[in-house]
Structure 1
Amino acid sequence: MRRIWLFVVVAATFGLLAAVIQAQPLQAPRTLTAELRAALEQVYVRALPAAVRIETIPEGTGSGFFISADGLVMTAYHVIEDTRSFRVINSRKESFPAEIVGYDEFRDIAIVRARVGGAVSFLSLETSASPRVGEPLLAIGNSRGQFIAPRYGLVNTVERDIFPFFNSIAISTTIPLAPGDSGGPVLNLAGRVVAVVVAIGQPDGVFESYLSPLQGLGEVIAQLQAGRKRDVPYIGVQLFQIDDETAATLRIPKEGVLIRSLLRGGAAEQAGLRGLSIRRENGQEVYDFDVILEADGRPFNDVTQLQRYIRSKEVGDSVTLTIRRGQQILKVELRLTPNPTRRG
C-alpha cells in the first residue's frame, strides 16, 4: 500500500504525498524577476525532451526524468512504491513499460528502467553543490491535469527538517507544486538537476514545496543504478510520548518512551516486547506495558529522536533496547526490519 503519514493532515492524489508541516523560521528569498523567469523558461525548453510522466497501477500519476541515454529514469520512491506495474511517457507521448532498478526510501528517490527502443535525451545531475537560499529553480511535473509542465520559484531554505514525513533533510521552496509533481526534476539556471520533488505543505499558513537534494549523493545514485534497494528500518512499534498525565496514570517516571502497540510481524513483537494493555483485577484497572529507556546505551525521552536514531541505521542492523517492564529493567536485542505493515 501507499505510505501513510501519521499525525499530519495529508492531501494525496495519484501517489503524491502532500504534508502540512510544522512551522519553522524561513529566510527571505530574493524576487523571481522577469529576467530570471525568462532564463528558467529556456531551461525548461531544453530539458523538456528528458522529462516524463509516470502512470502506475493501482491508478496513479507522478513525474520523473531520464538520467541516461539507455532509459534510466529517476523519480521519487513513493511514486512507484508498492505499485503492481507502471509506465513512463515522454514529451512526445511515447509510452514505455518500466521496472524498478533501485531505491533509497530514506531519501525518497528511486531509479527505474524504461524499455526504450533507442537512445533518449537525459538530464545531468548536480551532486557536488547545493542550491542557495533565494536561488531561482525550475520544477517539471504533471499536476493539475497538465502534461510535463514547468513550475518556477525560489529556495526558502536548504536545511528544512520535515521529519517524520520525510526522513532526510529537505530543501523548501516557493515553487507552486501540487499532487502529480512528485518525482519531477528540479533544475538550476545551468540546466542541471539539483533535487527531486517529494512533498508540499502549508506551515503556519505559508505554502512551501519540498525537494530531496542530490548534493553528495553521487555514490548513492551509482549504487541505486547498480540495483541497491534501501528500505527505512523499523523496530515495529507505535510509540507514545510520556507526558505528566501519562506518567501519573501509569505511575511511572517521566522518562523514556511508551510502547503503545506492536506492529504484527515486526522485530519488537518477535522479541516479546509488550504494548500497552489494560485488564481488571479485583475491580481495579491494571496496566501492562514496556517503556523504552535507551537504544544502544543512548537515553531517549522523545519519540521523534528515537525514531530518527532508528531510521539512521540499515535494515538488518541490530539494536539493543533498554526496557522498563514494571519493576524490571531488561536488555533486548532486535534486528531491524523493513516496514512490517507492507509484508504480504
Structure 2
Amino acid sequence: MRAGLFVCENSTHIDSVATPEDALFRILTFCLSMSIAALSPAQAQTVPQSMAQIQLSYAPLVKQAAPGVVNIYAQRVVAERRNPFADDPFFGDLFRNFGQTTPRVQNSLGSGVIVGSDGLVVSNYHVVGQATEIRVVLSDRREFAAEVVLTDEQSDLAVLQLQGARDLPALSLADSDGAEVGDLVLAIGNPFGVGQTVSSGIISGLARSGIAVGSGRGYFLQTDAPINPGNSGGALVNMAGELVGVNTAIITRSGGSNGIGFAIPANLVAQVVSQARDGRERFQRPWAGVTAQAMDAALADAFDQTIPAGVVLLELHPDSPLAKAGLQRGDVILSVDGGEVNSAPEMMFRLAAKGIGGQSVLEARRGTDSREVTIDLIAPPESPERQTRRIDARSALAGLEVMRINPAVIAEFGLSPDADGILVTQAQDLAGRVGLRPGDVLLAINGEPVQSTADVARLSRAQTRAWVIELIREGRQLSLRFRL
C-alpha cells in the first residue's frame, strides 16, 4: 500500500510512512505535540507513546475494579393481606385492613462490594435488610450463601459475610472527602438483572443531604453515571480503582436513570465495615445531643454573615458533648475536623465517619468571635435506665409497652434532645383501641404525673371507668379521654 501524505495545521509534512495506521499515529502525535508546545511548562503533559494511549479506555480500570463487585439475590417473607376491595377507588381505603394476611415470598435484586478478602461485603439495607435468604454471585460466576452481620437503616447500609469465602478480590476504600465535582467515576452493578454493567460519569455534586432513603435522610455524593434498579449497593469507583461510594438512590420520573444518582460516601462505609469487624450488629453513631438548622440567607442576615455558612444549634441536651465543651443554643458550627458543614446531616455524617471513642475539633462562632472546641465522640448514655415495661392483660391499658426516655432512647427513636418522660414504644390490644400510639410521651394518667414506667403500671390498674391521659404527640400536648 502506497505511503500517504498528511498535512496538519502548521503546514508540516509527514511522509515515508508504511501504512495508513502508522500515518494516523504520527500525524496525531505530531499535532498533539504542537499543541502541547504552545502550553506553558506547567501545563505541558507527556506526549502519548502508543495508539492505545491515544485511544483512551476504561478497560484496564474495569478489569481491576469489576471483580470486587457482586450481584445479590435476596428473599424475604412478607405478610400480604388479601382484600377484595383493594382495587376499588372508594372502598379500598375504607376496607384497607380487611381480610386475612397470608405470607408471601418477596424477591429483591441488587449489588454489593467486596471490602474484605475474607468475604465481607457491603450493600444497601433496602436490598438485604430483613432478608431470610441471600445468595451472592461473583463476577467469575462463583456463588455463596451470605448472612447479614450488621445493618443501619438510617444510612441504608448493610454488611454481609459470605460463607466459606476466602482470598476474594476486595476493593480498597478512597478518602471520599477528597472527591471533587468533576472527578471521573464509574458505576458498577447489576441493573435490571442483566448482568454486571459499567457506566461512566462524573461526581456532579457534593454534600447532598435532602434525599430520603430508608427511614431517614442521609448525606450523599451525587453522580451523573447512570444508575438503575439493581445498581443499588454497587460500587462508585474513582480513576484509581478505589471505592469512593456505594450507589444507593436515584431521582427519576420514569423508573430509570435521569442522570441524578446518589452514593453513600466511602468514609462512612469504612466506619460501618469497621464496626462490623468489631462484632456489632447495628451501626452506632457518636451522640451529639443537639438539633441544628442550616444557615440560609435570612439567618445569615440575622447573624451578620455576608455569606450563609454553617449550622445553627437550636437545642442541646444537658449531657451533650457539645454542651459540655461550652457550646450553647444559637452558636454556629462552621466545620468539623476541618471539613465545612452546611447542613445538620452533613455535620452528623462527619462525626459518624470519625467513629466512637475519638475526638473531633469543631470550629464555632458566637457573635463575631470564632473559636475551636474539642468534643469527645461518645455513645449515647443509658442514664437513667430505660426501665422497659409491658402492661399486662389485667390492666386497663393492656398491650402498652413503655420505657423511660434517656439519651440512648432519644437517639434510637429520633426524639428531640429536650424530650423527657415516658415513651410509648408499642400500643396493641386495648391500649391501641383507646387511641395511644408508638411515639407518644406520657405526662399524666388521671391527673397524676408519671415519672417512671412503674408509675404507668400502677396507674393503669386504677378501679375507674373514666380515663384521662395527658401526653405529647408530634410536639403537641393532647388529652385522651375515654370510658371503659
| TM-score between both structures, scaled by the size of structure 2 | 0.42
Q: 1:175 to 1:65 in 2, by over 3 A?
A: same
CA contact (8 A) 2:232 2:248 kept: yes
Partner of 1:92: 140
Q: Given the alignment of the two structures, is residue 317 of structure 1 paired with residue 317 of structure 2, yes or no?
A: no
| Residue 127 (structure 1) shift | 3.4
Matches within 5 A, 1:127-138: 127=175, 129-138=177-186
Q: Given the alignment of the two structures, is residue 72 of structure 1 paired with residue 133 of structure 2, yes or no?
A: no
Secondary structure of the corresponding residue to residue 181 of structure 2:
coil
Tell me how far apart the structure 2 counterparts of residues 202 and 175 of structure 1 sit (CA, whole Å).
14
Partner of 2:239: 189
Tell me how far apart the structure 2 counterparts of residues 308 and 127 of structure 1 sit (CA, whole Å).
16
Partner of 1:43: 61
Secondary structure of the corresponding residue to residue 134 of structure 1:
coil
| Residue 336 (structure 1) shift | 8.5
Tell me how far apart the structure 1 counterparts of residues 416 and 202 of structure 2 sit (CA, whole Å).
44
Partner of 1:280: none
Q: Given the alignment of the two structures, is residue 60 of structure 1 paired with residue 108 of structure 2, yes or no?
A: yes
| Residue 36 (structure 1) shift | 11
The 4+ residue runs of structure 1 with deviation greater than 6 A are 34-37, 305-315, 320-323
| Residue 91 (structure 1) shift | 1.0
Q: Given the alignment of the two structures, is residue 212 of structure 1 paired with residue 259 of structure 2, yes or no?
A: no
Q: Identify the match of residue 224 of structure 1 among 245, 253, 276.
A: 276
Partner of 1:199: 249
| Residue 56 (structure 1) shift | 0.4
Tell me how far apart the structure 2 counterparts of residues 159 and 307 of structure 1 sit (CA, whole Å).
9
**Paired AA for residue 136 in structure 1:** L
**Paired AA for residue 180 in structure 2:** R
| Residue 82 (structure 1) shift | 1.2
Tell me how far apart the structure 2 counterparts of residues 135 and 37 of structure 1 sit (CA, whole Å).
20
| Residue 207 (structure 1) shift | 3.5
Q: 1:137 to 1:229 in 2, by over 3 A?
A: same
Secondary structure of the corresponding residue to residue 59 of structure 1:
strand
Q: 1:37 to 1:294 in 2, by over 3 A?
A: farther
Unpaired runs of 5+ residues, structure 1, are 1-33, 234-292, 300-304, 324-330
Q: What per-residue deviation string (whole Å, max 9, x for no partner) do you get for residues 284-305 of structure 1? A: xxxxxxxxx9885989xxxxx9
| Residue 122 (structure 1) shift | 1.3
Secondary structure of the corresponding residue to residue 79 of structure 1:
helix
Aligned residues: percent identity? 28
Partner of 2:163: 115
Q: Identify the match of residue 155 of structure 1 among 185, 203, 206.
A: 203
Secondary structure of the corresponding residue to residue 191 of structure 2:
coil
Q: Given the alignment of the two structures, is residue 175 of structure 1 paired with residue 175 of structure 2, yes or no?
A: no
**Paired AA for residue 229 in structure 1:** E
Unpaired runs of 5+ residues, structure 2, are 1-51, 76-105, 286-313, 319-328, 331-342, 353-378, 381-406, 427-437, 440-484
CA contact (8 A) 1:106 1:167 kept: yes
| Residue 227 (structure 1) shift | 2.9
Tell me how far apart the structure 2 counterparts of residues 36 and 211 of structure 1 sit (CA, whole Å).
31
Q: What per-residue deviation string (whole Å, max 9, x for no partner) do you get for residues 132-188 of structure 1? A: 101110111111332111111111111112343352211111111110000001100
| Residue 41 (structure 1) shift | 3.2
Tell me how far apart the structure 2 counterparts of residues 45 and 217 of structure 1 sit (CA, whole Å).
23
Q: 1:227 to 1:38 in 2, by over 3 A?
A: farther
| Residue 218 (structure 1) shift | 3.7
Q: What per-residue deviation string (whole Å, max 9, x for no partner) do you get for residues 198-223 of structure 1? A: 001049x9630110001365444211
Q: 1:335 to 1:41 in 2, by over 3 A?
A: farther
| Residue 106 (structure 1) shift | 2.6
| Residue 231 (structure 1) shift | 6.5
| Residue 65 (structure 1) shift | 1.8
Q: 1:194 to 1:102 in 2, by over 3 A?
A: same
Tell me how far apart the structure 2 counterparts of residues 211 and 229 of structure 1 sit (CA, whole Å).
23
CA contact (8 A) 1:106 1:231 kept: no
**Paired AA for residue 274 in structure 2:** A
CA contact (8 A) 1:102 1:225 kept: no
**Paired AA for residue 71 in structure 2:** R
CA contact (8 A) 1:142 1:149 kept: yes
Higher relative contact order (CA 8 A, sep 6+): 1
| Residue 104 (structure 1) shift | 2.6
Tell me how far apart the structure 2 counterparts of residues 129 and 295 of structure 1 sit (CA, whole Å).
27
Secondary structure of the corresponding residue to residue 267 of structure 2:
coil
Count matched residues.
Answer: 234
Q: What per-residue deviation string (whole Å, max 9, x for no partner) do you get for residues 316-340 of structure 1? A: 33456779xxxxxxx6354989xx7
**Paired AA for residue 179 in structure 2:** P
Tell me how far apart the structure 2 counterparts of residues 321 and 109 of structure 1 sit (CA, whole Å).
25
Secondary structure of the corresponding residue to residue 45 of structure 1:
helix
Q: 1:47 to 1:336 in 2, by over 3 A?
A: farther
